[in-house]
């Protein structure tokens, strides 16, 4: 008997061609609740820039108004009430810049939540407005009362806090 090795070739009945599609396995889907990008849930972003714009402009509205008995009616804008009026204006500008930067695609680092920054700046603006609401500067005439502008500033600063809280709920 001859002991030579036998070589055999084995072919599959249908060779694999590159045109055939690979089998598609669909992964198990998890139910994920996604909030819609518009509507009520996106109101935090809109409220932020609207309230920031109102806060910025309100620094140029009448915070104190009154009339002397023989003289004309006077009005003192927030810008002229000292450093706090100017700080409120600049807080509004920073919030506007933050909103514009976000719309342009720039975001804060993930370690600094934007909603927290909005809440902190809104709280700071609220404190500054409350100080001016309670303590009328000495340079204002004694007969002058609070004007509509300081109330608008207070509402805008409170709206910024609410906007920050709404944005925090969006981030969750």
Q: Encode pLDDT of 105-124 as tens digits.
A: 898 888 889 999 999 999 99
Per-residue pLDDT band at 143 (split at 50, 70, 90): confident
Q: Judge whether residue 17 has pLDDT over 90.
A: no
Torsion of CA 113, 119, 120, 126, to 10 degrees: 170
Take residue 46 and report the two structure tokens written for it.
Answer: 């809109």
Per-residue pLDDT band at 26 (split at 50, 70, 90): low
Q: Round to whole Å and give the CA distance between 119 and 168.
A: 9
pTM of the prediction?
0.73
CB 124 within 8 A of CB 116: no
Q: Is 74 helix (H, G, I), strand (E, B) or coil?
A: strand
Q: Round to whole Å and give the CA distance between 66 and 144.
A: 4
């Amino acid at each position: 008997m001859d002991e030579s090795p036998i070589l055999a070739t084995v072919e599959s009945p249908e060779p694999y061609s590159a045109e055939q599609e690979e089998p598609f396995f669909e992964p198990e889907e998890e139910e994920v609740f996604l909030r819609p990008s518009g509507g009520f849930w996106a109101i935090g972003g809109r409220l932020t820039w609207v309230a920031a714009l109102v806060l910025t402009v309100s620094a140029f509205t009448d915070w104190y108004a009154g009339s002397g008995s023989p003289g004309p009616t006077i009005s003192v804008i927030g810008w002229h009430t000292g450093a706090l009026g100017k700080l409120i204006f600049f807080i509004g500008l920073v919030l506007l810049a933050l909103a514009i930067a976000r719309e342009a695609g720039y975001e804060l680092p993930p370690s600094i939540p934007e909603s927290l920054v909005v809440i902190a700046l809104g709280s700071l603006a609220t404190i500054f407005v409350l100080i001016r609401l309670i303590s009328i500067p000495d340079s204002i005439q004694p007969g002058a009362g609070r004007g509509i502008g300081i109330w608008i500033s207070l509402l805008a600063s409170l709206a910024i806090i609410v906007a920050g809280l709404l944005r925090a709920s969006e981030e969750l």
